[in-house]
Amino acid sequence: MANPSLEVVDVAVEFSGLRALNGVSLTLSPGEIVGLIGPNGSGKTTMINAITGQVPLAGGRVMIGNKQISGLTPREVALQGLSRSFQIVRLFNNMAVLDNVEAAALAHGSSLRAARAKALTLLDGFNLSHRADDLGGSLSYGDKRRVEIARALAADPAFLLLDEPAAGMNEAETEALLHILAALPRSRGLGLLIIDHDMSLIMRLCDRLHVLAFGKTIAEGRAEDVRKNPAVIEAYLGSEAIRA
């Protein structure tokens, strides 16, 4: 049987009366990359927070196949196979890079030996083996971001949700990240949902796009079609951003 999809169904989130998300539905299947885009404040991060249980839902539900995950704690959601990264990098600065990744694997039930092996493989995949013994805090911003993704992958997730992974990266770092991310769905069979303001990265990486504005879906579909959608162009005020 095929692995189940992540289904976000008619989700609403409110902050003191403000509807940050209003009836948004989205499907993420194993093996695909979906870009979640939209202007500042349109609800993208709230969407990831809603999926991972960081904010409560005011309506709707989140499912993996037939299993409801909305209402679970973030830890319980993670155990159902969802990993995420944050807009602001979360690393243990006083811990070695290898230990940072190993700790994430241990937290998800790997044995000591398996966690070490997994961490070494992940660092290799991110071209970070040479930094394994350095402290997390000593890394460049781009490297910290890559370690954060390696930590998220240490849980062997079925779905990976990345919040602006390329933010603050230079062009070469973004290019390297693009190649690593593009390979993940096939090599690991996972579904990848990615938020980023770098439209060149998004357009080259994603199979499908989901566009939010003011907490609502304004377009979804193939990247090529979405970028020509008048509502999307208007939401971005015809800026260069969507044409990149």
Q: Shortest distance, CB of residue 85 to ligand ATP, whole angstroms?
A: 13
Size of the site for ligand ATP (CB under 6 A): 10
Does position 53 bind ligand ATP by CB under 6 A? no
Tokens 């990266």, located at residue: 169
Does position 169 bind ligand ATP by CB under 6 A? no
Q: Which residues pair with 96 in a beta bridge?
A: 135
Site for ligand ATP in 115-154 (CB under 6 A): none
Residue among 54 and 68 whose Cβ is closer to ligand ATP: 54
| Of the candidates 9, 4, 22, the residue with the CA atom closest to the CA atom of residue 62 | 9
The whole-angstrom separation of Cα 156 and Cα 229 is 36
Residue 110 main-chain phi, psi, to 5 deg: -70, 150
| Of the candidates 148, 133, 6, 3, the residue with the CA atom closest to the CA atom of residue 68 | 6
For residue 142, count other CB atoms closer than 10 A to its CB.
Answer: 18
Tokens 């044995």, located at residue: 111
| Cα distance from N-terminal residue to C-terminal residue, the chain | 39
Can you tell me which of 6, 8, 11, 20 binds ligand ATP, judged by CB under 6 A? 20
Does position 162 bind ligand ATP by CB under 6 A? no
Q: Shortest distance, CB of residue 48 to ligand ATP, whole angstroms?
A: 8
Residue among 106 and 195 whose Cβ is closer to ligand ATP: 195
Q: Which residues pair with 31 in a beta bridge?
A: none
Q: Which stretch binds ligand ATP (CB under 6 A): 34-42, 68-76, 96-104, 151-159?
A: 34-42
Residue type, 193: L
Q: Shortest distance, CB of residue 116 to ligand ATP, whole angstroms?
A: 35
Does position 41 bind ligand ATP by CB under 6 A? yes
Token pair of 15 as six digits: 């902050």
Can you tell me which of 22, 42, 83, 110 binds ligand ATP, judged by CB under 6 A? 42
Can you tell me which of 30, 35, 43, 81 binds ligand ATP, judged by CB under 6 A? 43
What crossing angle do the helices spanning 97-107 and 112-125 adopt, rounded to 10°? Answer: 130
Does position 66 bind ligand ATP by CB under 6 A? no
Q: Shortest distance, CB of residue 123 to ligand ATP, whole angstroms?
A: 29
Token pair of 138 as six digits: 């000593």
Q: Which stretch binds ligand ATP (CB under 6 A): 41-49, 62-70, 92-100, 135-143?
A: 41-49
C-alpha to C-alpha distances, 82 to 5, 60, 90, nearest whole angstrom: 11, 19, 17
Q: Shortest distance, CB of residue 30 to ligand ATP, whole angstroms?
A: 25
Interface residues with ligand ATP (CB under 6 A)?
15, 20, 38, 40-46
